[in-house]
């Protein structure tokens, strides 16, 4: 059985920056409220006409360049997204075509909202573990701004757009050490877009299929689930807190991130934080943060990294990897 290891990372943010100062003109909030309650100062918004596949392609090409491979060598593409270009085909298939790969290996999307990238890495890793693939592209990409009601102060302050990517290659040692995935659909109403193709389609037609959230309930659940998943990850691998070099958390709220870091006895300088500049980019947030810390030299070869995420569903999970 083979393992998967990361050989390239990439990230892309749309050009348009939306600051808290601008949000104050749109909804009844203050710059101070948003920054102190969430840690967010600004977020990026995709241009009109800019699609999830466009963001994904930028991030993917960077990751492929760093890996030093040709796109044709990829025999698996998995894209984590909740905001695909179309109902179908998948963003992964659109991306495969953009990358000039034809008659290639499997390409498909994974939808687990903000835990999407963690789920996608887990799925891709299983291809490596069964020797079903040699090189894989795993992307998290979102245009979440398209499913936000920009008059709802409960949600519009939180989210942004972006994409992050990794290229994985087969290896004789991990790489991806373990993954831990969970879901509990009982809580689907606490965080959702209650419209789609087969339910409340009229809201989609009116352009009113928006994210709804019971923020404080989600907050409590996220802190608990992310704390538990850290324990589960350490126990499964016989590790202690001090064995972990880096935490790359989903970037939803600095207070959720700090609570998980505390649980790991980690200083915040061992935690990769982008939430102040990116907001919550859902499935893109973890690979965007990972890419930043790899490219600026913080995360070094041989170091142990925990990625962890929480999102609608509810879904939550973690990845332990050795970079």
When asked if residue 222 is in the footprint of ligand COA (CB under 6 A), the reply is yes
Report how far apart, in Å, the C-alpha atoms of 304 and of each of 177, 240, 274, 287 are. Answer: 9, 12, 19, 16
Active site residue 125: no
Query: Binding of ligand COA at residue 227 (CB under 6 A)?
Result: no
Give the nearer residue to ligand COA in terms of CB position, either 62 or 82: 82
Buried b (16+ CB within 10 A) or exposed e, 221-234: bbbebbbebbeebb
Write down the least CB distance from residue 124 to ligand COA, Å.
22
When the beta carbons of 67 and 284 are compared against ligand COA, the nearer one is 284
Question: CA-to-CA distance for 235 and 247, rounded, in angstroms?
Answer: 16
- List 20, 93, 114, 180, catalytic entry: 114
Q: Does residue number 148 form part of the binding site for ligand COA (CB under 6 A)?
A: no
Residue 201 burial (CB count, 10 A): 12
Q: Taking Cα atoms as reference points, which of 84, 146, 114 lies closest to residue 284?
A: 114
| Helix, strand, or coil (residue 186) | helix
DSSP 248-274: EE--S-HHHHHHHHHHTT--GGGB---
| Binding of ligand COA by 216 (CB under 6 A) | yes
Strands 191-192 and 315-322, bridge-based pairing: unpaired
Residue 250 designated active-site: yes
Using CB under 6 A as the binding rule, whether residue 212 contacts ligand COA is answered as: no
In this structure, the number of other CB atoms found within 10 A of the CB of residue 269 comes to 9
Choosing from 24, 29, 50, 227, the residue that interacts with ligand COA (CB under 6 A) is: 29
> Does 278 participate in catalysis according to the annotation?
no
Which region among 13-21, 90-98, 211-219, 237-245 touches ligand COA (by CB under 6 A)? 211-219
Sequence-distant (6+) residues with CB within 8 A of 224 are none
**In the stretch 260-299, what mask flags binding to ligand COA with x, by CB under 6 A?**
--------------------x-------------------
Sign of torsion over alpha carbons 133, 68, 77, 126: positive
Scanning residues 164 to 183, which ones bind ligand COA (CB under 6 A)? none
Residue 305, beta-bridge partner list: 246, 321
Among 89, 105, 174, 215, binds ligand COA (CB under 6 A): 215
Nearer to ligand COA, 154 or 200 (CB): 154
- 10 touches ligand COA (CB under 6 A): no
Is there binding between residue 41 and ligand COA (CB under 6 A)? no
- Residues lying near ligand COA in the complex (CB under 6 A) are found at 29, 33, 37-38, 114, 153-154, 157, 213, 215-216, 218-219, 222, 252-253, 280, 310-311
Active-site residue set: 114, 250, 280
């Amino acid at each position: 059985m083979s393992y998967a290891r990361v050989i390239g990372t990439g990230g892309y943010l749309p050009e348009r920056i939306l600051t808290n100062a601008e949000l104050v003109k749109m909804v009844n909030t203050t710059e101070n409220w948003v920054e102190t309650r969430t840690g967010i100062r600004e977020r990026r918004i995709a241009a009109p006409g800019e699609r999830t596949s466009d963001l994904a392609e930028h991030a993917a090409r960077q990751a492929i360049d760093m890996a030093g491979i040709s796109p044709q060598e990829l025999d698996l593409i998995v894209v984590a997204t909740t905001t695909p270009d179309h109902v179908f085909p998948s963003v992964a298939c659109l991306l495969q075509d953009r990358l000039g790969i034809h008659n290639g290996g499997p390409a498909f999307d994974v939808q687990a909202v903000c835990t999407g990238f963690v789920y996608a890495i887990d799925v891709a890793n299983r291809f490596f573990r069964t020797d079903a693939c040699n090189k894989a592209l795993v992307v998290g990409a979102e245009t979440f701004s398209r499913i936000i009601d920009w008059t709802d102060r409960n949600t519009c302050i939180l989210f942004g757009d972006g994409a992050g990517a990794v290229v994985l290659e087969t290896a004789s040692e991990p790489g991806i050490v373990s993954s831990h995935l969970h879901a509990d659909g009982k809580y689907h109403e606490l965080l959702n877009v209650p419209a789609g193709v087969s339910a409340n389609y009229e809201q989609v037609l009116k352009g009113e299929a928006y994210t709804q959230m019971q923020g404080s309930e989600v907050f409590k659940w996220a802190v608990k689930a992310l704390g538990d998943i850290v324990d589960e990850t350490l126990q499964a691998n016989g590790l202690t807190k001090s064995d972990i070099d880096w935490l790359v958390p989903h970037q939803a709220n600095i207070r959720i991130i700090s609570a998980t870091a505390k649980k790991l006895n980690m200083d915040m300088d061992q935690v990769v934080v982008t939430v102040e500049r990116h907001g919550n980019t859902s499935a893109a947030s973890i690979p965007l943060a990972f890419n930043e810390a790899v490219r600026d030299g913080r995360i070094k070869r041989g170091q142990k990294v925990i990625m962890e995420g929480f999102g609608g569903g509810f879904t939550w999970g973690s990845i332990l990897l050795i970079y």
